[in-house]
Every structure is written in C-alpha cells, then in structure tokens.
Amino acid sequence: MIRVSEIFHSVQGEGKLTGTPSVFVRTSGCNLRCWFCDTRYASWEPEGDQWSVPQIIDQVSKFPSKHVVLTGGEPMIFAEICELTAELRARGKHITIETAGTVDLDAECDLWSISPKLSNSTPIGFATDEWVRNHDLRRHQPEIVQQLMERSDYQLKFVVGSILDAEEVLEYLHVLQGWDRSNVMMMPRGTTQEELLLQNSWLANWCREHGFRLCDRQHIYWFGNTRGT
Ligand code: SF4
C-alpha cells in the first residue's frame, strides 16, 4: 500500500517538461523535514489514505494524459513504487519521479527529477533536535543521486535562496560525475510571485554566468500556491 495525499491533473510547472499536461500522484510521507517545504501535508504532517497499486492505476487512468508525475513528500520511501511504475509503463505512460535523491529503489522512470537538498534546508528552530539530526544525516546522498542519474534522463533541481546557496551547488557538483550542464537547474525558493521575482533578479544573472538553467516555478504564476495544481 502507498499513502497518497492527492491525485490530480494539472500542467507541469517546473523543469524540462514545463507546460506538459500531467497526472500528479502525490504520495504522503517524507524522510526529510526541509524548513521551507511547501507540501507539509505530505511531509511534516502527512495526510491521506493507503492506496493499493490497482486503485492508483484506476484513478490515474481517468485522466487523458500520457505523462504521470510521482511526487511527494518522497515517493521513493514506498517499495510499491516499483510495482506502480512497472504497471504505468505497461500502459504506455511517461513517468517522472520527483525525489530528493536519498533513497534508491529499482523503479521504472523516464525522467528522474532530483532535488538534492542543500545545507539551507536544515530545519533548525523549526523541528525537534532529533529531526534536525535525522535531516542532516539523510539529506546528502550523492552516491544515490549518481545512480539515479545514470539510469535514464534526469534533471537536477537545486532550491536556492541566496548566492551562498548557489555557490554550494558548485561544490555539490564536484562530487558528481558525467553531469550535463543543461540538466542542472537552479530553482528560486518561494511560494509567491513576489518572492520568485525577487530571487530571479539575481539568479538569472548567476545562471547566465555559469551556464545553468533557471528553473522558475511556473505553476505559482499560473495557479498560485494552490493544492491540486
Ligand atoms: S524533501 Fe521535499 S517533501 Fe520532503 S520535506 Fe523536503 S521539500 Fe518537503
């Protein structure tokens, strides 16, 4: 069984498939506790029922999209994701898995959308000491990120809120091998248009200098920070 927070049809707002109509399956539960998490109902305070793989497939099949996005929370904490992705593939679906890249599973996937969490994510002052410790022990797993990158198409999405964060991305990339600059995406931290535009005012130039992609959060402009979008 997989705990599911919501299944909905929308338009992908982030990354190389921006603009693509997709069915989103948001699993509920996460092994991290980023302080800036914008889906707390699927991480800090997980909600939703337990769904079987056939139940999820039935719901996904109600929508016409070929593209399916498994997101969270952290979808990779559920072993049944392997069965789910195999079933989706058998139905001709294109699968994106959005993950923080801290858990490895032999899931089938067309696009690994990996968002490694930087030191700026640690919930000091927001969570218990135990969660702060757990978060820092778990968040940095470059060897798992490397394995996922080598399996199929991928994108690395780094959430940044300052130049210091961006500089940390450069350090992070030193540990990885064979990455393609066009697959490295810098995503401004923010859940409102105003916050995103403020971050973009320096981040766009930083991306221009370093040759990385600016990964704006288009769904915020299209729909606002609204559930089910
Ligand atoms: S990894 Fe993602 S879902 Fe989990 S706490 Fe961090 S931002 Fe939220």
CATH number, domain containing residue 160: 3.20.20.70
Q: State the distance from the centre of ligand 1 to the C-alpha of 115, rounded, in angstroms.
A: 9
pLDDT at 213: 97
Alpha-carbon span 122 to 119, nearest angstrom: 6
Cβ-proximal residues to 101 (8 Å cutoff; 6+ apart), any chain: 114, 115, 116, 141, 144, 145, 148
* The pairing of beta strand 111-114 with beta strand 153-160: parallel
Alpha-carbon span 222 to 193, nearest angstrom: 10
For the segment 18-40, the average pLDDT, to the nearest whole number, is 97
Count: domains in the chain: 1
| Ligand 1 pocket check for 73: Cβ under 6 Å | yes
Please write the tens of the pLDDT for every residue from 52-71.
999 999 999 999 999 999 99
Q: State the distance from the centre of ligand 1 to the C-alpha of 119, rounded, in angstroms.
A: 13
Whether 228 is in a domain gets the answer no
Whether 229 is in a domain gets the answer no
| Ligand 1 pocket check for 203: Cβ under 6 Å | no
Separation in Å, CA 62 to CA 52, 159, 219: 16, 33, 22
* pTM of the predicted protein model: 0.97
pLDDT at 145: 98
Please write the tens of the pLDDT for every residue from 174-202.
999 999 999 999 999 999 999 999 999 99
Atom of ligand 1 nearest to the CA of 44: 5
Out of 14, 24, 28, 34, mutate this one to test ligand 1's pocket (max ligand atoms within 8 Å of CB): namely: 34
Q: Is residue 162 left, alpha or beta, with left meaning phi > 0 and alpha meaning psi from -120 to 50?
A: beta
Q: Which domain holds residue 126?
A: 2-223
Structure tokens, 72 = 């969270």
Q: State the distance from the centre of ligand 1 to the C-alpha of 65, rounded, in angstroms.
A: 26
Extended strands (E) in 53-212: 67-71, 94-99, 111-114, 153-160, 184-188
Higher pLDDT, 225 or 144: 144
Mean pLDDT of the chain: 97
